[in-house]
Chain A
Amino acid sequence: MTELIKTPRTGETLPVKAGKRTNPLANVFDELVRFAQSRSLFMLHYCTGCGAIELPPSMTSRFDMERLGIQPMVSPRQADILLVTGYVSVKTLKRIILTYEQMGSPKYVIGICSCTVNGGMYWQSYATAKKLNDYMPVDIYIAGCMPRPEAVIAGLRELMENIRQGKADSWKDYYRHYDHYLGHQQRLFGETWQTPTDVIAEARHYGLFGPDTLGTHTALLEQHQRPLEALEMKVDIPELMARR
């Protein structure tokens, strides 16, 4: 297990706080929710590389993740954890970002294998993204080539502990420093890079807007962004409209 490598950012890093509310009842409620969140984790294993081979043993009878409340899930909408298991090529990264953005928060990213940490044996490759946390906030890295199921479970348990304590909120970081992550993405994918999810609008909608959500990169994005607004239901009766 390695420390999360923080890359230099343009803005201030928000300190990680366990948000406590003053109302004791609300506090209990928050505790309950956080506990439930820590005890029920649905993972989406994005099997990009060899690390995936270690996941079935950790899920099945020998190690049985389900006793921790961890289950595999299929679509990003349902999942809490994005497991990136192995080297990430540029093409794959696009999909990983798309998938990450489609997940519902709170969401956690776990990088498995050395390749996600620093490129591992592919560090010389022109086609591989080296550091996953340049492109999205990573909660836990589980290093190793490949990490054994014990290591995977240990990593998951640490994540669970973080969640229970309310420390695992790096997903908020993505909204608050979206410009930073987008900058990295744009450098890799080119200026016209765009995902279907409107992160900025989401940040506004959920009150996650931070000082670094917008910046030069988002300005670039807005130049060639195709519309992403939802198709709102419209009761557009011509006669009534005309009268109005």
Chain B
Amino acid sequence: MIELILMPLAAFVIGLAMVLMMRRIGARLQRRVGPPLLQPLWDIIKLHGKETQTSHGLIHELGIVMAIGGFVAAVTLMPLPGMNGLAEQGGLIALVYMMMIPSLGLALGVGQCANPNGSIGISRALTAMLAYDIPMVIVVFGVAFFYGSTSLVQIIDAQQAGGFATWGIAEMPLLAFAGLFAMQAMLGKQPFEIYVAPAEIATGPMVEMGGKFLGGLFIMQCFQLYAAGALYTLLFLGGGENWLTFLIKVFAVVAIPMSIAFLFPRYRTEDVVRLVWKWPAMIGLLGIAFLMY
């Protein structure tokens, strides 16, 4: 039971560090110093400490609650070293769909803001989801099929059985590549960040979010980065034998899209779809073909 409290907490802390890492990577790539160590935390505290905030109604507020809560629930489905949480009760497919709940919550909350910039952002975000989820489910299918199970615990056990040689990335390099590609889009980082587009639709979904609303989204971002990194680690990098290797893997995984992100401008929505349906999806299918035949 204590696991269920510790897992989201760990996820949040790791997520904060990831946000920092992301901003630092960005700064270094632009030859800047970047934010101080606790900057993500200060941001969140500041936002929650706002004294006047505008709400557009109950759904606006509940949307944020759902966005945070969905991730809090979802991370308990991802086993950590020594902690299985609810991984036995849920499994991979349930996890993938649980991770859509925050998006749904956010979409509802944004919808009630009555700001078309937000709605456009959501429309683009959902379109992007349509794009990246296809390689994502191909990857999920491939892994689940390869290990003959949708239980993440069993998948990790199978990977850890023979060291690096039995890791997903060694067994299924094509799928691992497709997964990485899909993760880039899933995180909404450049070149796939059209739905935020600060200069044209005023950060899209976040346009009417201030104070604790934005703070909630910052928290959600921590979870999101963690979830993406952890999921990839669990599927392809053998999960965590111990905390040290787990953290190294998770950060390494997230560092890749971060580093790529700041080198690119962004694609238009339809180009996102076209690109993601073409390359990672095709590579993923090829990977599955190799697995099956």
Q: Do chains A and B touch in the complex (CB under 8 A)?
A: yes
**Which residues of A line the B interface, CB within 8 A?**
32-33, 35-37, 39-40, 60-61, 64, 66-67, 69, 73-80, 102-106, 202, 206, 230-231, 233
Residues of A within 8 A of B39 (CB): 39-40, 69
A104-B35 contact in complex given A37-B46, A233-B57, C-beta closer than 8 Å: no
Closest to A202 in B: B52
Chain B residues within CB distance 8 Å of chain A: 23, 27, 30-36, 38-39, 41-43, 45-47, 49-54, 56-58, 117, 198-199, 202-203, 206-211, 213-214
Residues of A within 8 A of B47 (CB): 40
The answer to whether A77 touches B52, judged by C-beta atoms less than 8 angstroms apart, is no
* Minimum CB–CB distance for B243 against chain A, Å: 29
Is A206's CB under 8 angstroms from B42's CB? no
Query: Chain A contacts of B49 at CB under 8 A?
Result: 33, 36-37
Contact B54–A67 (Cβ < 8 Å): no
Closest 10 A-B residue pairs measured CB to CB?
A77-B210, A36-B45, A105-B52, A64-B32, A61-B31, A33-B49, A40-B46, A104-B210, A40-B42, A67-B33
Best-surrounded residue of A61, A69, A74, A233 (most CB of chain B within 10 A): A74
Pick from A35, A66, A69, A230 the residue with the most CB of B within 10 Å: A66
**Which among A33, A79, A80, A231 has the highest number of chain B CB atoms within 10 Å?**
A33
How distant is the Cα of A33 from the Cα of B50 in the complex, in angstroms?
Answer: 9
Contact check, B57 vs A206: say whether CB atoms are below 8 A apart: no
Give min CB distance, B141 to chain A, whole Å: 38
Given contacts A77-B214, A78-B214, A105-B51, contact A66 B46 (CB under 8 A): no
Q: How far is the CB of B221 from chain A (nearest CB, A)?
A: 14
Q: How distant is the Cα of A31 from the Cα of B43 in the complex, in angstroms?
A: 15
Contact residue among B32, B46, B58, B208 (Cβ-Cβ distance under 8 Å from A67): B32
Assembly CA distance A67 to B32 (angstroms): 8
Residues A74 and B207 in contact in the complex (CB < 8 Å), given A66-B33, A67-B36: yes
In the assembly, what is the distance between CA of A221 and CA of B145, in Å? Answer: 68
Contact A75-B207, Cβ < 8 Å, known A66-B27, A67-B34? yes
The distance from the CB of A235 to the nearest CB of chain B, in whole angstroms, is 11
A61–B47 Cα distance when bound, in Å, is 26
Residues from chain A with a CB closer than 8 A to the CB of B57 are 230-231, 233
Q: Can you report 9 residue pairs joining A to B where beta carbons are below 8 Å apart?
A: A32-B45, A36-B41, A36-B45, A36-B46, A60-B32, A78-B214, A80-B46, A103-B210, A104-B52
- Give the chain A neighbours of B58 by CB distance below 8 A: 233
Q: Residue of B at shortest CB range from A37?
A: B46
Min CB gap B170→A, angstroms: 39
A45 to chain B, nearest CB (A): 12
Chain A residues whose C-beta falls within 8 Å of the C-beta of B46 in the assembled complex: 33, 36-37, 39-40, 80
Q: Taking A61-B30, A69-B35 as contacts, is the C-beta distance between A77 and B42 under 8 angstroms?
A: no
Is there an interface contact between B209 and A78, defined as CB atoms closer than 8 Å?
Answer: yes
| In-complex Cβ contact of B51 among A73, A74, A102, A206 (8 A) | A206
B36 touches which of A32, A39, A78 (Cβ 8 Å): A39
How many angstroms between the C-alpha atoms of A37 and B58 in the bound complex? 27
Chain B residues within an 8 Å CB radius of A75:
117, 202-203, 206-208, 210
CB <8 Å contact, B23 and A74: no
